[in-house]
Amino acid sequence: MKTRINYCQVLFFIIIILIFSSCNNKKYLSDIDVKKTSEEVIANSLFPSMIDVDIGNIEKYYEIESSNIEDVSLYINASGGFPDELFISKSEDKEKADIIHKNIEKRKEILIETFRDYQPDEMYKLEESQILRYGNYNIFIVSENSDEVVKEIKKYFK
């Protein structure tokens, strides 16, 4: 009789665990759609007039090899007169994500050099820019609203 009660208790706990684990709505990093995420952040008017850069040109802006990225999106200011930028990439593994992270740091330095003389009034955006890393995802945000953009981005990377 005691053995039967123990089996029932174990079965009960297993069922409870399964129920709670199936109710988990957490979005995992592998579920993030880079393009859709970028589009939604841009659509929330957190950036001025922005254009989507095609994959061939992204490689030029960030000096990245396509073999280091699985998915990527880049939006830049349409006029080119402002440093505003949103870059999101997904890499296959940590090593490739590390390479992309270094390329983002290089890109930031290039923007600083360019805008220091070209548009010094825009330097505050670069000083407040943010480079984020979530697993194999890299994100670079240049905006006067960078804190708000970070909050928006974090919604996707719970």
Report the C-alpha gap between 125 and 47 in whole angstroms.
12
Give the pLDDT score at 48.
74
Residue 145 has a CB neighbour count (10 Å cut-off) of 18
Give the pLDDT score at 28.
44
Structure pTM?
A: 0.80
Least confident range of 20-29, 53-62, 67-76, 84-93: 20-29
Contact assessment for residue 119 and residue 81, using Cβ atoms and an 8 Å cutoff: yes
Question: Is 24 a residue whose pLDDT tops 50?
Answer: no
Report the C-alpha gap between 96 and 15 in whole angstroms.
41
Q: In which band, very low, low, confident or very high, does the pLDDT at 148 lie, cut at 50, 70 and 90?
A: very high
